[in-house]
């Protein structure tokens, strides 16, 4: 599944997914980060105006450092992480010990032997990934 969105300034944003769930995840990421996307678009447009105004040879300022809400990895790129079984499934629950956990889980069918499933990727509590986790 895929959908393309165009901002008022013409930036094309794509949401893709191999399944309905991964597609919804991609759309949710765009929704959650649309303000950051629009800010970057505005900065790019402003940099373009510097060159267009006749200031050729001007070096654009360095990009700002990443915000405290951004983090590395495929989630930042609006893509659901994958394993050899396909797109991973985001899970956010409370364990039997009463502690919350969040992570990307292998999408292998439930009847797949545990030894054949991929290792889960857990988010660390208090990190931007945890705070921005999709579920």
| Count: domains in the chain | 1
Report the pLDDT value the prediction gives residue 21, as an integer from 0 to 100: 82
Structural domain range at position 106: 2-131
Rounded (to 5) percent helix, strand, coil in the chain: 30, 20, 50
The token pair that represents 25 in the structure block: 């995840």
Report the pLDDT value the prediction gives residue 15, as an integer from 0 to 100: 81
SS3 of residue 72 by DSSP: coil
Report the pLDDT value the prediction gives residue 48, as an integer from 0 to 100: 66
User: pLDDT 10s digit of each residue in the chain, 135 long?
Assistant: 777 777 777 777 888 877 888 778 888 888 888 888 888 878 877 776 554 455 555 566 666 655 444 444 434 444 688 999 999 999 999 999 999 999 999 999 989 998 999 999 999 998 888 888 887
CB atoms within 10 A of CB 114: 7
The token pair that represents 1 in the structure block: 């599944």
The token pair that represents 37 in the structure block: 């996307």
């Amino acid at each position: 599944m895929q959908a393309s969105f165009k901002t008022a300034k013409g930036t094309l944003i794509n949401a893709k997914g191999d399944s309905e769930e991964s597609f919804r995840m991609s759309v949710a990421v765009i929704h959650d980060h649309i303000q950051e996307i629009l800010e970057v678009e505005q900065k790019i447009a402003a940099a373009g105006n510097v060159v267009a105004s006749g200031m050729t040879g001007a070096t654009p300022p360095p990009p700002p450092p990443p915000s405290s809400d951004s983090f590395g990895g495929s989630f930042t790129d609006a893509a659901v992480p994958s394993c050899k079984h396909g797109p991973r499934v985001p899970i956010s629950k409370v364990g039997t010990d009463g502690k919350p956990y969040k992570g990307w889980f292998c999408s292998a069918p439930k009847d797949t032997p545990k030894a054949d499933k991929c290792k889960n990727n857990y988010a660390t509590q208090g990190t931007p990934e945890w705070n921005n986790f999709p579920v």
